[in-house]
């Protein structure tokens, strides 16, 4: 008989797949087979786990660095505090006032939200939570859209104001990642600038900073978009399965194990009922008037004492069949008891042939 199976998120997965003879065998299944592959070589679930783990560590280090720098900043005495001087300091919607816009929006927003939601994505991918994975996917979608918006804003700012903003310069003045293409002396000179006009920066270095920014920012944004697509796909797999019928109906994709409880219930359902076994046995009997049996006992035809004739040896052959004598008349109430007993026997036989006692009882009373 068919054995019920249920899906489990265990990595040592086994699924039922059809063989050439039409049967089904249990074969070992990998992560890529269950959840698909990312970058054509990694398991999609492992890919999301790795991205979430790495980004969580990166944002944790960045936030810790902010805390250390803030403590050093407030503990260090400042004789000449840095302050903006001039009318341009009071202009918000100007080239000078908006040179730090994308850096001040993207840096803290992505770092703080990523420190909270990347661990959520790691937890969802680890335990197969489709709802948490969908939330992480929406976060990645919002992050990708903001990065695209920042890219468009920075390029528009460069051609409108003829100067680089701080977000563009951060990619060439970074000390760790991404590696800066500029020499250390050039980096120290540019780091002392309050703003980055195109002419002033070009006088220090002839490197094409805009092209470098577009390549790195474009690749980083494309990577986040790809992670967003993979997260949405993984969330859909966790919720609906490859066939779209749910986790318990996808064939050749979900990890499975034997459902011991279902097997035990199936085995117990094959055990015959004691009531059904007792119903087909002869019922208890007791003697009535005239030799009739008790309730439910088989009826006997009246006996006929007659001479069967004489054989050649003049010996008399008599019918010794059981039953009341010919002169005894059976009362009407005994006939009614026999009819009731016959009805009970018929009902017991029908119950023994039926799979469900409730069905025959319903039809009987109807």
CA distance 266 to 263: 5
Number of other residues whose CB lies within 10 A of the CB of residue 122: 20
| Same-domain pairing of 224 and 288 | no
Query: By C-alpha distance, which of 6, 8, 3 is closest to 265?
Result: 3
In-domain check, residue 27: no
| Same-domain pairing of 140 and 75 | yes
| Same-domain pairing of 284 and 206 | no
| Same-domain pairing of 321 and 175 | no
Looking at residue 139, its pLDDT comes to 94
Looking at residue 55, its pLDDT comes to 92
CA trace torsion 30, 31, 33, 36 (10° rounding) = -160
Looking at residue 268, its pLDDT comes to 75
| Same-domain pairing of 72 and 216 | yes
In-domain check, residue 267: no
Looking at residue 121, its pLDDT comes to 92
Looking at residue 364, its pLDDT comes to 64
* pLDDT (tens place) for every residue of the chain, 366 residues total: 344 444 444 343 443 333 333 333 333 345 656 677 788 787 888 899 999 999 999 999 988 888 888 777 666 655 555 556 667 777 778 888 888 888 888 888 888 899 999 999 999 988 888 889 999 999 999 999 999 999 999 999 889 888 888 888 888 887 777 777 888 878 788 877 878 888 888 888 888 888 888 999 899 999 999 999 999 988 888 877 655 555 554 444 444 566 778 778 877 776 666 666 666 655 555 444 444 445 555 555 544 444 444 444 444 444 444 555 554 454 555 566 777 778 878 877 776 666 565 665 666 666
Which domain covers residue 102, as residue numbers?
Answer: 36-240
Domain end: 190, 218, 240, which one? 240
Looking at residue 277, its pLDDT comes to 60
CA distance 29 to 140: 29
For the question of whether the overall pTM of this predicted structure is more than 0.85, the answer is: no
Query: By C-alpha distance, which of 35, 22, 23, 26 is closest to 5?
Result: 26
| Same-domain pairing of 223 and 298 | no
CA trace torsion 58, 63, 67, 73 (10° rounding) = 90
| Tokens 């609906």, located at residue | 240
Domain end: 217, 240, 263, which one? 240
Residues 6 or more apart whose CB falls under 8 angstroms from that of 354 comprise 360
In-domain check, residue 3: no
**Residue 357: DSSP 8-state:** H
In-domain check, residue 31: no
Q: Is 170 helix (H, G, I), strand (E, B) or coil?
A: helix
CA 94 to chain centroid, in Å, comes to 51
Residues 6 or more apart whose CB falls under 8 angstroms from that of 35 comprise 43, 44, 45, 234, 237
Q: Phi and psi for 189 in degrees, rounded to 5?
A: -65, -45
| Tokens 């009362």, located at residue | 331
Domain end: 197, 216, 240, which one? 240
In-domain check, residue 246: no
| Same-domain pairing of 302 and 351 | yes
In-domain check, residue 30: no
| Same-domain pairing of 210 and 344 | no
| Same-domain pairing of 82 and 159 | yes
| Same-domain pairing of 226 and 281 | no
Is residue 299 within 8 A of residue 348, CB to CB? The reply is: no
**Residue 322: DSSP 8-state:** -
The sign one gets for the Cα dihedral 228, 120, 252, 26 is positive
In-domain check, residue 212: yes
| Tokens 């990312």, located at residue | 38
| Same-domain pairing of 210 and 293 | no
In-domain check, residue 124: yes
| Same-domain pairing of 207 and 284 | no
CA distance 147 to 216: 12
How many domains is the chain partitioned into structurally?
Answer: 2
């Amino acid at each position: 008989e068919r054995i019920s199976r249920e899906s489990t998120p265990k990595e040592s997965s086994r699924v039922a797949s059809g063989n050439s003879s039409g049967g089904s065998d249990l074969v070992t299944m990998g992560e890529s087979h269950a959840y698909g592959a990312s970058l054509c070589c990694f398991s999609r679930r492992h890919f999301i786990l790795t991205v979430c783990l790495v980004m969580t560590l990166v944002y944790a280090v960045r936030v810790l660095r902010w805390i250390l720098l803030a403590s050093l900043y407030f503990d260090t005495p400042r004789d000449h505090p840095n302050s903006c001087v001039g009318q341009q300091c009071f202009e918000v919607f100007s080239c000078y006032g908006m040179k730090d816009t994308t850096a001040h929006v993207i840096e803290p927003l992505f770092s703080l939200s990523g420190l909270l939601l990347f661990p959520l994505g790691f937890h969802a991918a680890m335990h197969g939570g489709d709802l948490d994975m969908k939330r992480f996917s929406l976060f990645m979608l919002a992050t990708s859209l903001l990065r695209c918006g920042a890219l468009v804003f920075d390029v528009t700012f460069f051609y409108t104001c003829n100067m680089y903003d701080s977000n563009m310069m951060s990619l060439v003045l970074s000390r760790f990642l991404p590696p800066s293409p500029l020499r250390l002396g050039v980096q120290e000179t540019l780091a002392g600038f309050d703003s980055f006009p195109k002419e002033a920066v070009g006088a220090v270095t002839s490197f094409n900073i805009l092209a470098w920014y577009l390549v790195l920012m474009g690749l980083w944004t494309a990577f986040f978009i790809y992670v967003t697509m993979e997260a949405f796909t993984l969330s859909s797999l966790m919720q609906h399965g490859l066939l779209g019928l749910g986790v318990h109906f996808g064939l050749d994709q979900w990890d499975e194990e034997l459902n011991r409880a279902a097997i035990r219930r199936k085995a117990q359902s094959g055990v015959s009922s004691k009531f059904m076994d007792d119903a087909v046995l002869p019922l208890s009997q007791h003697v009535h008037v005239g030799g009739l049996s008790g309730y439910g006992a088989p009826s006997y035809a009246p006996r006929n004492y007659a001479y069967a004739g004489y054989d050649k040896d003049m010996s008399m052959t008599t019918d010794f069949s059981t039953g009341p004598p010919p002169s005894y008349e059976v009362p009407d109430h005994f006939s009614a008891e026999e009819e009731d007993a016959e009805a009970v026997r018929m009902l017991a036989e029908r119950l023994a042939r039926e799979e469900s006692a409730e069905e025959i009882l319903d039809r009987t009373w109807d």
